[in-house]
Amino acid sequence: MSTKEKIKSAALSLLSKEGYSGTSMRKIGKLVGIRESAIYNHYKSKDAIITEIFNDIKSKSGYTDLLTDELLDKLNKPKEFLKDFSFMLLERWASGLEQQMFGCVLVEQFNKRYDKVSINDLIAEMKKIWEMIFREMINYKFIRENNPSVLADEFIAPLFFIRLKYFTADDKERISYAEKDLLIHIDFFWDSIKR
Amino acid sequence: MSTKEKIKSAALSLLSKEGYSGTSMRKIGKLVGIRESAIYNHYKSKDAIITEIFNDIKSKSGYTDLLTDELLDKLNKPKEFLKDFSFMLLERWASGLEQQMFGCVLVEQFNKRYDKVSINDLIAEMKKIWEMIFREMINYKFIRENNPSVLADEFIAPLFFIRLKYFTADDKERISYAEKDLLIHIDFFWDSIKR
DNA sequence: GTCTATAAGGAGATAGAC
DNA sequence: GTCTATCTCCTTATAGAC
């Protein structure tokens, strides 16, 4: 990892816990192992680092890469599909990087500093995917007729809830609890949408 | 409003947007209209202010006061009850004070500064109420047999989702959009739990 | 690329006048 | 109760040596 990458990584870690004001150049430098003045060799200002972090978050907040052809072949077993894809999401959210990016979005939600990512952006990104999935399931008559947008909202909300409940701390064991909660949700939801 | 109350109010406003580090004594003083040194006549330190704010949030994060006998009489019309009580929650969340308190909890979620309120605490407080409500509805056979804890989770998650989506900015118009989303959720949920 | 030195201002907090 | 003055440390950022 280059020094520049180390700086961004350290800043991300601080930002996700301490917020913008709590993320000082001195703390970043200490975490990387260099003087704060050396940071200016890689970034022209503190804002330049933070802006790059939020651009990264924006570009990495999609999920289309998870939707492989192999997975989409399972759409005809809808309940299994819900489980498989949701578990993939949980696994992604459990990674340290994802938790930090999520933390940044949450922690910086309420100020108006710059054009950053909001929680609503993250939700919209997730909804796009699930709306498409449910539209397909309905088209192929795998599930009951219903409004895909409503199904997406109703399925996503508990998913987001679980993310918030279990993946806001770096605790690897929590994924099993999250999976348990998720299975209960899928069971309940499935009873509402099955033909 | 006493100066002490003004100080706490100003600190709450700053804390909910800027976080702990971004909330300086100087900014608080400026918002109140006094010098920062004058603050120390009312609070012995910055931490004392923030601690009192989180104690306030803790003591105000319950909802039992909304559950009047008059409201509980409507339990025999379960769908109406869901609507009425949820709308009361939306109305409460729409107030500026509630939005600021919610903002504080979100923004200070990830550091480990002191024994503050977490999102999970807020959720647990809400779940307690709803679990009780659904238990009663099941006891009286107003709705289908089901696990009250699961029902509470499934009902609360979209509610929380709506709170996050609409009530993180002081925008009075948003409550009508929130109500629209909420009615859709209740319709969907009701179909899953009715006898 | 990193260092030391330094600038100019913001941070929390205290002493003492009024 | 509020003010001015002051302390010490932290903040972002720049200049220039190595």
**Span B114-132, pLDDT tens digits:** 788 999 999 999 999 999 9
Average pLDDT, chain A: 95
Is residue A181 pLDDT above 70, yes or no? yes
For B70-123, write each residue's pLDDT tens digit: 999 999 999 999 999 999 999 999 999 999 999 999 999 988 887 889 999 999
Separation in Å, CA B94 to CA A111, A161, B61, B101, B169: 18, 20, 14, 11, 9
Is residue A61 pLDDT above 70, yes or no? yes
Side-chain-side CA neighbours of residue B55 (13 Å):
7
CB contact under 8 Å between A168 and B19, yes or no, is: no
Answer whether A13's CB lies under 8 Å from A64's CB. Answer: no
Is residue A171 pLDDT above 80, yes or no? no
Q: Which two tokens stand for residue A141?
A: 């008559």
Predicted local confidence at residue A112, as pLDDT: 84
Contact with chain A for residue B123, Cβ under 8 A:
yes
Is residue B172 pLDDT above 90, yes or no? no
Domain boundaries, chain B: 3-53, 61-193
Length of chain B: 195
Average pLDDT, chain B: 95
Measured CA to CA, the distance from residue B172 to residue B174 in angstroms comes to 5
Side-chain-side CA neighbours of residue A118 (13 Å):
14
| Interval B51-78 mean pLDDT | 96
pTM: 0.95
Protein contacts on strand D: list nucleotides below 7 Å from a Cβ: 1-6, 10-16
Contact with chain B for residue A107, Cβ under 8 A:
yes
**CATH (residue range B61-193):** 1.10.357
Q: Which residue, among A187, A180, A188, has the nearest Cα to A162 in the 3D structure?
A: A180
A156 confidence band (pLDDT: 50, 70, 90): very high
Protein CA B26 to sugar C1' D8 (Å):
17
Predicted local confidence at residue B140, as pLDDT: 97
Contact with chain A for residue B72, Cβ under 8 A:
no
Is residue A89 pLDDT above 80, yes or no? yes
Measured CA to CA, the distance from residue B116 to residue B122 in angstroms comes to 11
Q: Which residue, among A7, A94, A76, has the nearest Cα to A48 in the 3D structure?
A: A7
Is residue B53 pLDDT above 90, yes or no? yes
Q: What are phi and psi of B71, to 5 degrees?
A: -70, -45
Residue A22's nearest nucleotide, by CA–C1', is D11
Contacts of A91 (CB under 8 A, 6+ apart): A175
Chain B environment of A101 (Cβ under 8 Å): none
B30 confidence band (pLDDT: 50, 70, 90): very high
Residue of B nearest to A102 (CA): B110
Protein CA B123 to sugar C1' D12 (Å):
39
Nearest CB to B21: which of A19, A120, A153?
A: A19
Nearest CB to A165: which of B120, B150, B191?
A: B120
Answer whether A25's CB lies under 8 Å from A36's CB. Answer: yes
Is residue B141 pLDDT above 70, yes or no? yes
% of chain B exceeding 90 in pLDDT: 92
Is residue A97 pLDDT above 90, yes or no? yes
For the domain made up of A3-53, give the CATH fold.
Arc Repressor Mutant, subunit A (1.10.10)
CB contact under 8 Å between A106 and B103, yes or no, is: no
CB contact under 8 Å between A184 and B111, yes or no, is: no
Three-state secondary structure call for residue A84 = helix
